[in-house]
Amino acid sequence: MEQDIHIDEALASIQKLVDNIETVIKGKRPQIQFILTALLAKGHILMEDNPGTGKTVMAKTLAQSISGRHNNAGVNFKRIQFTPDLLPMDLIGSHIFDDVQKEFVFKKGPLFCNVLLADEINRASPKVQSALLECMAENQITMGEITYPLEQLFFAIATQNPVEMEGTYPLPAAQLDRFFIKIIFGYVDEETELDIYNNYLGIADNLAHIQQVLSMEEILFLQNETEKVTIHPELVKAVRNLVWDTRRHSDITLGASTRSGITFLKCLKAFALVNGRTFVTENDLQIITAPVLDHRLIYRNRDAKASALASILNKEMDRLSKLKIG
Amino acid sequence: MIVTRQLCCKYAGGYQGPLYNMQIGKVHSAKKVVAQLLLLALPTAALVWYVLFSINQYYQVLQNQWLQQGAYYLGGMVLAMLFYAYRFRFITTALLLFAVYYVAYKLLGKTAVGEFDTFFVSVQLLIFSILSGAGWITGYGFSRSRYFTIAWSVFLLAFQVLMVSKTDQVTANSLILAFAPVLFYSFYIIYTAELLRNMNEDEPGFGWFVGRRITGFTVLAVALLASLLLVFQKQFETIEKDWAGGKGSNKKDGAESMTKQNRDGSVSNKDQMRVTGSLSKDKRLVFVANLDNYFPNSTTPNPLYFTSLYYTKFDTLTQTFETDANMPANDLFKPDPSKIPLYFTKTDTSVIRNTNATLNRKVVSADIYKVILSPNEFIAPSTAFFIQPIPVEKEYASQFKSAYRTKMWVSDLNSAYFIYNPAGNKGLEQFQEQRFQQLRTATSYEGISSPFMDYYTFMPNNPEYQRIKNLSLNITKDAKTPVDKMVAIRNYFLSKDEFGQPKFKYSDNPGIPGLPSASKLNYFLFENRKGYCAYYAGATLFMLRSLGIPSRIAAGFLTVDRSSKNPGWYWFYADQAHAWVQLYFKGYGWIDFDTTVPDVNTQQSPQPDGTPPMNPQKPWLVADGEAVTVDTVTQRVTMKVKKLLYHDKDFETIVSKDMFMDVSLATITKDTGGARLSDIKPGTPIVSVSYAESVQEIEPAPLDTLGSIIAKLAKPVPIDAVKIMETAAEKKAKQQQTQAEAKPINWANALWMLLAAIGGFLLLLFWLPWLVWQYYNTRAKKSTANINQKAYRVYTASMYYLNQLGMQRHQQSPEQFANQMDIRFTSNFERFTAVYQQIKYSNRALSNQQQQVVHNFFAPFKQQVRSNLSFKTRFVRFLNIYNTLHYFTKPKTG
């Protein structure tokens, strides 16, 4: 029997959040869904596109929707602008000599928060990027000999410009693997763009006055509910097949890891919930596979990047669609 | 097989190194190449072997080396597959290949010594190039083109139609033999090629994937082949024997003879006579004949001709003279002696009427004693009309298997003309000249029916035969009457060249493996000028026909071995099988002429031993019926008599009577030779003969019936000879066989049947998508068991329907696809899909509303789709088998 999910409550919360974000971000429903998926799956998200497509606005809107403008509801939001000269201690914090106690005390950096916006993450050096590894994977930070746990809710939203652009350091594979989902932000369609131009003052105003719609408890509640989403054994098997196929494919030099597979399952559940369902379907698999897996794979060439994962997914979708039931 | 393995291992090994080298990259992985070789090349080679095996029976030039030829083909195919798997260019490699062939051909012309050698070797090279070139193209097709298999299958089927049309007997057996393997192969190759195209070689268990299929194929093929072999074993054995001269091996020389070996070891004239490269020398005695002489003073000059068959039709494609059961004015008497009881007779006087010959004709009789001539075979001088099987005396029974007496309607003009008569023999020349004088009175063919004339003067109309015509017109320009023209042709064959050497020579082995397309007769007449009887007869036939003289070829035996001690006895040996021409003269009928030049090198046959079988006594009682009881100790047999020949009078009865017989002194025979009393079983059909005086003494009264005569006879009746006839089962088997052989060929019907079969196959192919749809559709409509099953079937049917209409889900989730369809057809597909997904992946119960969606979806959906797509569009798309294939094939991961 499926676990009882407070579906109405959960859906209402999600809808509130989506509506709130859409007052600022127009025509980006799929991207919003992906971001919420990452949030509900207790993961992190990486958004990539050219400058000026609304990545940062999106991150800010989301952060403010769940943390409020004044941080008084307990959801702590921090924004870090990554630059080439940024140092790890700028993120983690450092030991500072306390005159009163005559000893070094740890001064926590901006990483100790609930929602972190890492803007233009690939402008920082690999050293700094690595500093994010532990906190993103294990929700903790180790400084010297002491390990500091992070808050129960820790959600990192990173944005980056395409790797080909000047002044960027490509993220290491290990770092990329930490991001549950990577989405290409993309331009809005023509009509929405016109709409944005006509109302840009209003939108800016909306951003300035965005309200917190969900409390931390509500977020944690949603994350808990996500765990209860049903996933059919055949779909688990499909995830296994997809992961294995990426390892076998002749045009993929680095396939997906087992951790990616687990991430994948979490994302599937979260995506199903975001779509208002208490069970995962083929639809979820079709839509979420690329955002979850694509950035983890290393392809042999550009053609392969365009087609390899799609063909693997196509094969698996074909298998699923012909499963006999009833 | 071994070659294949080595080659692909070599290539596979070479591939391991430049893994990232994309410049000479491969199209397929080594695994896929191996799979192609095993699953496509090998079965294709097997089929090609089979096809070549059949072709070899029609085209002499191929010399029955089908194994080797199949290997050429396989070689070409494997090479092409390997080449194109490694991205060689087609044009360049093919040009290179043909350049190699050309150079080899040129080199051969320079190095080979001797006219025949060159000819022979270049023909071999040609066969090799054609076959390996064809293999090359096939291999390329398999590697590169998706649609090739279909074209290839159609080609093979068409080719088989052509091959079947070459056979002189279209029977169910030959059709099955020709088409079953090809059809099976076609299905297999289309399926497998598509499978290989779509599979992912990186999948685990690839070996198992390939292995499973090849095992399945092998099992099916073995089952098919085994059943074919089982059913047609005898046919194949005959073919092999036919080819190997009865020794079961592939001999190049002397393989072809004018006689054919039957299954029981006996001999009969070939049904088909080919102009072939060689003729075997076989010294076995075939039969012995005693002839009531044509001429009062026994001055019949040698040789004597015995006719078995007439060849009236020439198939220009196979270069084969054919018999024709439908020839006009059929004057061929063809009974089966083994089916007529001893002393009973069979007469067909229609042949006399058909000869339409009244002048110089009379009835002559002959006794024929068979040695190894088949019991079914009937042979006699032309225009026989009567047969009466006679027993063979006891002391000769071991040598002569059976005998019959026959009567013929013969012309005393008809005798031994031309050849084998030593030139310069004044007596003979005078003898012939007398007869020519008489035949010169038959100057025209006026009043003879035009179908008859058209039929017997038919010849193909093409430049090759035009050349023959020109030659014969030139030779016979001074001759006025048909017989003078014939003499002129005879003289041409006997004429000498400027060095005083004979222009034409006799050769049993003229050694010209000519191409089937080129006329062998042309080669014989204008270049080689060596040959045996079939060449001379064939050439003469066309020369005569080109002059408008009705003529045909007769085949049978000729002998020069007349017994000097026993006048009237002739001995016939296997190597005396012969062919000659017959000319039709108005009023005189068909007259034999033989234009084969004398063979100066070989002596025809050994002298006969000179002890002919004795003439049998006059039988007083002949009873035909079947044995009822047999007592081997007291040597008494009771038989049920159905027909009785008593003192030369026929008695028949409806209710058969039992007759008790004493067989202690009787000779017991069978068609195939001697037999014992124990061979007679109750129910065995037998014929009993008595020469006894005690029987002679009891004269039949005018009112006697069969029953009253048997009652009059002593008990037991002394019997001198018992012949075991064929049992009912043997008879039936033989009858079936002869019926199958003798069945006239209805070409139009056979062609229509073939077209219908192919049409049916194509129709099925085109209808298949629709049939599949009907299956899904019905299943979806009928399903009421539970909602889950219903949803599944409706969904499958809908997806198949859309797929077949060209709307395939590709890189879309079911909902996305459904949404797209909804936009196009304003249907409810997305909602249905959502429900279906819930059923599939969740165990939550459906709400009433959702159940309604499932129940009410299918019919309106189909309606919506139909109203949005024209009938024409739907029809055309439903014809497309590739949509169906796409639906059922798994996508590959590239």
| Segment B633-664, tens digit of pLDDT | 888 888 888 888 888 777 877 778 888 888 88
Return the minimum-mean-pLDDT range out of A111-115, B627-631, B672-676.
B672-676
Residue A241 CB neighbour total at 10 angstroms: 15
pLDDT-based confidence at residue B782 (cuts at 50, 70, 90)? confident
Give the residue from B459, B455, B454, B494 showing the smallest Cα distance to B475: B494
Cβ atoms of A266 and A219 closer than 8 Å: no
In A, which residues are within 8 Å of B788 by CB distance?
Answer: 325-326
Name the least confident of A238-252, B442-456, B519-533, B654-668: B519-533
Distance from CA of A219 to the nearest CA of B (A): 25
- Which among A232, A307, A325 has the least Cβ separation from residue B788? A325
Give the tens place of pLDDT for each residue, B32-65. Answer: 788 888 888 888 888 888 888 877 766 656 666 7
Chain A contact present for B809, CB below 8 A: yes
CB contacts of A314 in chain B (<8 Å) are: 810-811, 891, 893
Give me the mean pLDDT over the B851-872 stretch.
89
Which pLDDT tens digit goes with each residue over B111-124? 655 555 566 677 77
B252-289 pLDDT, tens per residue? 333 344 555 454 445 555 544 444 434 455 667 788 88
Contact A283 B815 (CB under 8 A): yes
Peptide bond into B303 cis (omega under 30): yes
Asked if A281 and B810 come within 8 Å (Cβ–Cβ), the reply is no
Q: Which residues of A touch B840 (CB under 8 A)?
A: 232, 281, 323, 325
Instruction: Kindly indicate whether the ipTM for this predicted assembly is greater than 0.90, answering yes or no.
Output: no
B335 pLDDT above the threshold of 50: yes
Asked if B894 reaches chain A (Cβ–Cβ under 8 Å), the answer is yes
**Cβ atoms within 10 A of the Cβ of B199, count?**
20
Cβ distance A2 to B892 less than 8 Å, yes or no, reads no
* Nearest residue, CB atoms, A250 vs list B202, B789, B791: B202
CA dihedral sign, ordered A137, A138, A141, A146 = negative
**Substitution target from A33, A246, A275, A281 for chain B, most B beta carbons within 10 A:** A281
How far out from the chain centre does Cα B396 lie? 37
Contact A326 B200 (CB under 8 A): no
- Alpha-carbon B828 to chain mean position: 63
pLDDT, tens digit (0-9, with 9 covering 90-100), for A184-197? 888 888 888 888 88
Q: Does A39 have pLDDT greater than 70? A: yes
| Complete DSSP assignment for B76-133 | HHHHHHHHHHTT--HHHHHHHHHHHHHHHHHHHHHH--SHHHHHHHHHHHHHHHHHHH
Say which DSSP state B41 is in: I
Give B889 or B892, the one with higher predicted confidence: B889
User: What is the three-class DSSP state of A75?
Assistant: coil
B848 in reach of chain A (CB within 8 A): no
- Residue of B198, B794, B812, B840 to mutate, testing the A interface (most A Cβ within 10 Å of its Cβ): B840
0.80 surpassed by pTM: no
CB-CB: which of A277, A282, A311 is closest to B814?
A: A282
B186-242 pLDDT, tens digit per residue, is 888 888 888 777 776 666 667 777 777 778 877 887 887 788 777 776 666 655 554
Judged by average pLDDT, the poorest of A120-129, B114-123, B329-338, B779-788 is B114-123
Asked if A287 lies within 8 A of B813 by C-beta distance, the reply is yes
Give B-chain residues touching A279 at CB under 8 angstroms. Answer: 838, 841-842, 844
Bridge partner residues of B690 (DSSP) = B621
Summarize pLDDT for B316-334 with one digit per residue, the tens.
Answer: 666 666 777 778 888 888 8
Q: How do residues B684-715 score in pLDDT, each as one tens digit?
A: 888 888 888 888 888 888 778 888 888 888 88
Interface residue of A228, A232, A325 to substitute, partner B, most B CBs within 10 Å = A325
Residue recorded with tokens 């080899």: B104
Question: CB-CB: which of A1, A279, A283 is closest to B813?
Answer: A283
For B476-485, how does the pLDDT look when each residue is reduced to its tens digit (9 = 90+)?
Answer: 888 888 888 8
Supply the pLDDT for residue B263. 46
Calculate the average pLDDT of chain B. 76
User: Of B141, B194, B183, which Cα lies nearest the Cα of B159?
Assistant: B183
Task: Report whether pLDDT(B300) > 60.
Answer: no
Helix axes B206-244, B42-55, angle to 10 degrees: 10
Q: What are B547-583's pLDDT values in tens digits?
A: 888 888 888 887 665 556 666 777 777 777 777 888 8
The reply to whether residue A315 touches residue B791, judged by beta carbons under 8 angstroms, is: no
CB A173 within 8 A of CB A132: no
Q: What is the pLDDT of residue A34?
A: 92
Average pLDDT over residues A55-64: 81
Whether A230 and chain B come into contact, CB under 8 Å, resolves to yes
Neighbours of B134 (CB within 10 A): 15
Nearest residue of chain B to residue A309 (CA atoms): B893
Q: How many CA atoms lie within 13 A of A276 on its CB side?
A: 7
Q: How far apart are CA A254 and CA B331, in angstroms?
A: 88
* A-chain residue closest to B200, CA distance: A249
Q: What are phi and psi of A31, to 5 degrees?
A: -65, -40
**CA nearest to B555, candidates B874, B274, B144, B238:** B274
Q: pLDDT value at position A186?
A: 81
Confidence of residue B519 (pLDDT cuts 50, 70, 90): low
Beta carbons of B77 and B41 less than 8 angstroms apart: yes
A232 and B842: CB-CB below 8 Å?
A: yes
Residue B475 has pLDDT above 80, yes or no: yes
Q: What is the pLDDT of residue B695?
A: 81
Residues of A in contact with B835 (CB under 8 A): none
Contact B809 A321 (CB under 8 A): yes
Q: Indicate the range of A3-12, A294-303, B343-352, B686-695 predicted with least confidence.
A: A3-12
Which whole number is the average pLDDT over B409-435?
Answer: 65
Q: Is A311's Cβ below 8 Å from some Cβ in B?
A: yes
Q: Residue A281: which of B202, B837, B844 has the nearest Cβ?
A: B837
Which chain B residues touch A317 with a CB distance below 8 Å?
809, 813
Query: Which of B378, B376, B369, B390 shows the shortest CA–CA distance to B291?
Result: B369
Neighboring chain A residues of B837 at a CB cutoff of 8 Å:
281-283
Q: Which two tokens stand for residue B704?
A: 């006697």
> Hey, is the C-beta of B851 within 8 angstroms of any chain A C-beta?
no
B805 vs B742, residue with greater confidence? B805
Which residues in chain B have their CB less than 8 angstroms from residue A1's CB?
843
- Residue A270 pLDDT level (bands cut at 50, 70, 90): very high
The per-residue pLDDT for A263 is: 92
How close does chain A come to B38, measured CA to CA in Å?
Answer: 23
Q: Please give the pLDDT value at position B13.
A: 37
pLDDT (tens digit, 9 = 90+) per residue, B78-114? 888 888 877 777 788 888 888 888 888 777 766 655 5
Nearest to A318 among B792, B796, B891 (CB): B891
Partner A contacted by B816 (CB < 8 A): yes
Considering only residues 26 to 85 of chain B, which have any Cβ-Cβ distance to chain A shorter than 8 Å? 29
Between residues A99 and B520, which one has the greater pLDDT? A99
Distance from A41 to chain B by nearest Cα, in Å?
20
